[in-house]
Chain A
Amino acid sequence: MPSLEGLPGDERDWVRRFPHLEQALAHPLDRRRTLKLLALALAGGGLAGCDPGTPDRGFVSAVRAAPGVIPGVPNIYASAHVRDGYAHGILVTHQMGRPTKVEGNPGHPASLGATDIFAQAAIQDFYDPDRASGPLHDGMPAAWQEVTTALQAVRAPVGSVPQAASGLRILTGTVTSPTLGAAIDALLAAHPGAVWHQWDAIGRDAARQGAALAYGRPAMVIPDLRQVDVALAVDSDLLDSAPGHLRHARAFAGRRNPVQGPMNRLYAVEPTPSLTGVAADHRFVAAPAVCDEIVGRLGAAILHNAAPSGGPDWLGAVVADLRAHPGRALIHLGPDHGADAHASVHAMNEALGGRGGAFDVFEPPDYRPAQPTSTLSALMDDMENGRVRALLILDVNPVYQVPRFAAALPRVPLSVALADRPHETAQAARWHVPLAHGFEDWGDARADDGTATILQPQAMPLYGGMSAVTVLRACAGDAARSAREQVRQTWRERLASEADWRAALAAGVVPGTAAPRLDAAIATVLPPVSPAGSAALTLLLRPDPHLWDGREANNPWLQELPRPLSKTVWGNPLLIPPELARSQGLRNGDEVALSVGAHRVALPVWVQLGQASGCVVGLLGSGRRHAGATGDGVGTDLYPLRDAAGPVRIVATGRTVAVACTEHHATLVADAPSDIVRHGTLARFRQDAGFLGKMQDHPVPAAALYRRDPGAPVAWGMSIDLNACIGCNACMTACQAENNVPVVGRDEVLRQREMHWLRIDRIYEGTQSAPDTFFQPMLCMHCEQAPCETVCPVGATTHDSEGLNVMVYNRCVGTKFCSNNCPYKVRRFNYFAFAEQERRPPISRNPDVSVRARGVMEKCTFCVQRIAQARIAADRDGVAEQVVTACQAACPTQAITFGDINDPDAAVSHRKASPLTYVVLPEQGTHPRVTYEGRIRNRNPAIEL
């Protein structure tokens, strides 16, 4: 805030900023007048707490409930969660008019009913107490009228600057929203010379350019993993975060359980483990430069129908396998590789004959694909040269992410940042206009396949704010037009009738908006894949899997969500390969100075098994300066290194930093297959389908002493398919949101007191450099012979007739003996009043779930509140209970099946009858109601392990 410098002591400056103050100071103050003013301030304070009401939204007396709101009965409205422009359809659950939970929209192609962690955590973003509460001008509070005036000033030419070079620039992320695009277009049309720049901090520009290069025009290449038998993922994020990743994960997992149907086969080659790599049947470790080289060799082999020359010894077998499945083979390349490599991969996929099946080419969903002339660097060039008069920054944070932008911004006379919080960019810009949350105003967005969703507001704005569309309209001098009218206008043609409009709102999908197929042919001549220069040490800067580009830094659920592989939370240690750790004598938590050329930061290291030697990985998105009270200063900001050039070096500083991690011991690598995660190969499964069940060393002891009473007609049980689980953590976040699971903070995680009811165990087998990695969701097993129940002296944890192991919080005195006696350690204890200490407002909680007090034990309940709701619905409608637990609902791969195991036709009964089914720790004789389906991998026998 350079404009604030010199403020203290400069009284005239204060007066200039607060004209009312000048008037007040003009009158001499006496005691009487002071008291009057104080009384007025007190009364005003009370009044300000009231909802002002707006002209179009009158007060509604709460004596009569709003239509459709029944106390205790949730309402559900469709909307979408938009990340980097692409929409995932969601259904927002409201309790008495307040959003409390997000579910996936089964009718939406990018959701199919599932959600990712970001959509689940959107509730925390919405209720974030650090969101902007009002507009700021040069860091000082301003009135909304002043904002309107300022936005209109964007239009006015300044002095001698001619209209034609109006110098107006708009900076946004990727825009797929037709309404927002139209509003931008309208502004551009009114201002010849104005330029729209699209930029994402974590961009997929190389992938876009690669597709454009391959097909001669902007194109979206979308795989369809349902029709893929063999896939090769090269440093890919297909199941992690690529557009449509939830759909890809669903399709992939649908072909992973050999009991359910034929398996596909996935090869992965990558420098650092990803969810995609861990899910693969064969995972190969290669530095990024080697990945590019492999793409080159693959191209040479596949495009010219030759055997691959050179390269790793497995390459020949992989190429042969891909070739052996014409039309059903696919190669996918991650976004961190060059456009030429992407183009080459597209050509290979065409050569493998998968078009129309394994993948297809569509019109991109972007409103207007980004042009090479309107990149961020072009904008920064103009800013530095003073050619930008007015800059609208709509919901992006370049000041944090691009140091060069931060330096250039003060040269723009009028900069307006539309931001949800006073973040780095909002503070550096002259104006900060609060952005309405996606739950607060109308909008629309498209999924990766082009399907459009209309975002309807879910609640009255909590803090006040404008949507991007409204801001653009205000710039055009048309502030009166609401976002709703504009969205309606956009879809007037397609949804002509009110009934159609309402149906589209209810469905969360505008029918028939999927992008058309392109018949663009693959280019015949493609640039060769340029080999990346190899260095002694390569630094890969990747988006944080949970904080993404840093936007979620103030989201406590995501900060405390253990990263899938490293299990670290609240901070971003530098991930180093085990070889480097050994050669440099580094251990987890040792601080190093990481330098790229002249830029240098200090941060702790974390040994990441299965990472390419000579390759260190930094996670972007931490070290925020102005994210909010939760996220400020957590971790280290690595963005300054991204644009730096020069050799990468790490030097130990000799200091040690405590790194919070939910795995509270040294990383273990089992040298023999464990009984806990059972796995085997497809070949073995074909010989003997039940081989996993026979892995048991000791027979399950029969519980002869006590009667195992089947009890009620319903018996709840769960089956978790380890073949499907990709470790994405969506279930953990969903559980946290559904069950009011508190966040404990970094210090308490360091004291091993995290509270997650559902955790995902990550288990390594094999070698440190290339371990076999397994994920295993672990939650209360609801044992039929529950060891926790017998040791509780007050009977606070007991069994109900339907097999639930229920926890009576009010009865718990906190002996913690139940946790001692739980072999699975799924019970969590409230050492402090964790829920009370959370910063989230109480209205954001699920009212159906008790908030636990200090000193009581808690654990997974199988979402007993959902069971109760389902029972009410079943009693009312006379049908069988349909219970979907929160974790099950969120799971993109449908790894979790829940239901009545007494019903032989229930899906869960079928799953439990699978020959892959096994019990964890059977020798404990606990008879868990949660069983697992062991993981089968479709290894290629031609590849030596």
Chain B
Amino acid sequence: MSGPAAVAPVVAPGETAQSLTERICAVTLREGARPWTPLWWWAALAVSLGLLGMGVIAVGWLFYAGLGIWGIDWPVVWGLDILNYVWWIAIASGGTFISALFFLLGVEWRTALNRLAESLTLCAALCAAIFPILHLGRPWFFYWLFPYPNTMGLWAQFRSPLVWDFFAILTYVLASILFWYFGLLPDLATLRDRAQGQGRRVFYGVLALGFRGSGRQWRHYRAVYAVMAALMAPLVVSVHSIVGMDFAGSAATGWHSTQFPPFFVFGAALSGFAVVLLAILPLRSLLGLHAYVTERHIDVLGRLFLTSSLCVGYAYVMDAFATFYGPDEADRTMFLMRVFGLYAPVYWGTIVLNIVFPQLLWWRSVRLTQPLVWLIGLGVLVGMWLERFQIIVTSLARTQLPSTWGQYTPTLWEWSLLFGTIGLFLTAFLLIVRLMPVVAMAEMRAMLRGPA
């Protein structure tokens, strides 16, 4: 890295291992002068729980009444269900990129972000994981996708991308949980040791799994963490590739494209960085993390963000090129419908929000104007949602036979489910922010002591 960013510090001057540990523990334990949980947290939790409640009702009614309560129909059999799934799983990528990939690359600025980013990943992956089950006509048989021994002698059908998807998601969610939790162990031990109340000591003590900081434990810890990071980094690529293959593996118009796996990885990176920015900017002030999440971080995230946006832009161009380069008339018709037809605003919204607005990040002054960056990030989240809408809905609405063309209008229940999962995401994230250390203290301490 060159330029002014290279010289900006990743930690504010004057911070020591001691001051860091105290500040982060204070945020979580709140046993000092201000023992109350701040009002903003309660307010945010109330809103999140409200949304979550709406989602619970939407799921309950879905199970009782059936898929018919949604707006999906004969030609467009996948709608907001799959759309939300793809959207959430893409959001879940950010944490893994920052935490695992940049760990392996030895990037120093990742350390302050990785805990929050991983937590975001975890919450988003949970939200994503419920949609493949909810979208089934008979969700109570979801386990049939799993190749378990059974008296019927039936097995999953391994040619189906949905089976790969089932494994990919399951692996990704499990690995994310493990990676996040394993990385937490030293910090949980710190909290256990510093907590005053008996209840807190027991709570953090149980979670710390007896981590005492012995040399042997540290050796094992570092080895396992590195191995898990090495596993997670390809996993984030594989899971998004397989989500891409859910579409590319089918023969449907507009889906049948070999570029989908990398295309979906690009999209995942973009939405992952967007959601990290969205979370980190307000939390930095709310939790008083200015010393550890500095302008350097925001600048770097802005550059990564811009890079992923350019990658996604490349994929869009290639999508258009392949459509017209290829022989399929139906593909061309569908693409023109996508760009100029009923759902044209969705397409152009995608382009503007995902590609055009992020170009502002070329300017360092924009990258350091936090409200603007936050808005661009929000725009990309909306834009990525729109992108999935045009991939899924426009393709299914304009298939090979004109007699089967149709359209799709989501119902209130599908929207409630989307906002319900946003509620689930926020609730889980707020709980993590409140109960767990928001910065990886052990790693930060190591960095602060450092070789220097």
Contact = CB atoms under 8 A, between A and B. Distances in A.
Interface in A817-858: 817, 819-821, 823-825, 828-833, 853-857
A831 B66 contact: yes
B175 interface: no
Q: Choose among B74, B136, B251 the residue with the greatest number of A CB atoms under 10 Å from its CB.
A: B74
A668 interface: yes
A812 interface: yes
Contacts of B156: 793-795
Q: Choose among B68, B136, B138, B161 the residue with the greatest number of A CB atoms under 10 Å from its CB.
A: B68
A753 B407 CA distance: 12
A676 interface: yes
B162 interface: yes
Interface in A765-797: 776, 778, 787, 790-795
A921 interface: yes
Contacts of B447: none
Contact of A832 (B68, B74, B161, B329): B68
A821 B328 contact: no
B144 interface: yes
Contacts of B404: 824-825
Contact of A820 (B68, B141, B155, B252): B252
A73 to B, nearest CB: 30
B401 A825 contact: yes
Contacts of A813: 136-139, 141-142, 144-145
A812 B157 CA distance: 12
A755 to B, nearest CB: 9
Given A832-B66, A856-B137, A751 B327 contact: no
A754 B137 contact: no
A825 B402 CA distance: 11
B252 A814 contact: no
Contact of A821 (B68, B74, B145, B252): B252
A786 to B, nearest CB: 10
Nearest to A819: B77
Contact of B157 (A776, A787, A795, A857): A795
Interface string B379-411: 000000000000000001001111111110000
B57 to A, nearest CB: 19
Interface string B68-110: 1011111111100000000000000000000000000000000
B349 interface: no
A791 B401 contact: no
Q: Choose among A753, A790, A794, A820 the residue with the greatest number of B CB atoms under 10 Å from its CB.
A: A820
Interface in A78-132: none
Nearest to A776: B403
A871 interface: no
A817 B73 CA distance: 13
B166 interface: yes
Contacts of A492: none
Nearest to A670: B402
B399 A825 contact: yes
Contacts of A821: 250-252
Nearest to A795: B157
A665 B68 contact: no
Q: Choose among A668, A675, A825, A920 the residue with the greatest number of B CB atoms under 10 Å from its CB.
A: A825
Given A752-B75, A753-B68, A821-B250, A665 B406 contact: yes
A815 B157 CA distance: 13
Interface in B149-166: 154-157, 159-163, 166
B249 interface: yes
> How big is chain B's contact interface, by range?
35 or more
Interface in B400-430: 400-407
Interface in A731-772: 748, 751-754, 759, 761-763
B367 interface: no
Contact of A854 (B75, B137, B402): B137
A675 B333 CA distance: 14
B344 interface: no
A816 B162 CA distance: 11
A13 interface: no
Contact of A794 (B65, B74, B157, B407): B157
Contacts of B402: 665, 668, 670, 676, 763
Contacts of B141: 813
B164 to A, nearest CB: 9
Contacts of A857: 137
Contact of A751 (B73, B137, B403): B73
A829 B136 CA distance: 11
B245 to A, nearest CB: 11
Given A793-B162, A820-B396, A856 B138 contact: yes
Contact of B161 (A753, A759, A763, A791): A791
Given A790-B159, A791-B162, A820 B77 contact: yes
B151 to A, nearest CB: 14
A792 B160 contact: yes
Given A698-B327, A811-B154, A821-B252, A816 B78 contact: yes
Given A664-B406, A856-B138, A761 B401 contact: yes
A924 B163 contact: no
B135 interface: yes
A791 B67 CA distance: 20
Contact of B400 (A663, A793, A812, A823): A823
A831 B67 contact: yes
Contacts of A856: 137-138
A751 B75 CA distance: 11
Q: Choose among A675, A753, A763, A831 the residue with the greatest number of B CB atoms under 10 Å from its CB.
A: A831
A829 B407 contact: no
Contacts of A792: 157, 160, 162
A793 B66 contact: no
Nearest to A828: B74
Nearest to A665: B405
Contacts of A814: 67, 136-138
Contacts of B73: 664, 751-753, 831
Contacts of A668: 402
A923 interface: yes
Nearest to A674: B402
B145 A793 contact: yes
A921 B252 CA distance: 12
Nearest to B253: A823
Interface string A463-504: 000000000000000000000000000000000000000000
B340 to A, nearest CB: 14
A855 B136 contact: yes
Q: Choose among A697, A698, A816 the residue with the greatest number of B CB atoms under 10 Å from its CB.
A: A816
Q: Choose among B138, B144, B159, B251 the residue with the greatest number of A CB atoms under 10 Å from its CB.
A: B251
Interface in A146-181: none
A794 B159 CA distance: 10
A406 to B, nearest CB: 40
Contact of A921 (B144, B400, B405): B400
A856 B66 CA distance: 11
A923 B251 contact: no
A924 B142 contact: no
A839 to B, nearest CB: 18
Contact of A752 (B74, B329, B400): B74
Interface of B: 65-68, 70-78, 135-139, 141-142, 144-145, 154-157, 159-163, 166, 249-252, 255, 327-329, 396, 399-407
Interface of A: 663-665, 668, 670, 675-676, 697-698, 748, 751-754, 759, 761-763, 776, 778, 787, 790-795, 811-817, 819-821, 823-825, 828-833, 853-857, 920-921, 923-924
8 contacts: A663-B403, A790-B157, A816-B72, A816-B77, A816-B135, A820-B396, A829-B77, A855-B66
Given A665-B407, A832-B66, 8 more contacts: A751-B68, A752-B75, A813-B136, A816-B135, A820-B77, A821-B252, A829-B67, A831-B67
List the 10 closest pairs (A to B, CB-CB), nearest first. Answer: A814-B137, A855-B137, A831-B68, A752-B73, A825-B404, A816-B77, A793-B162, A761-B403, A664-B406, A832-B68
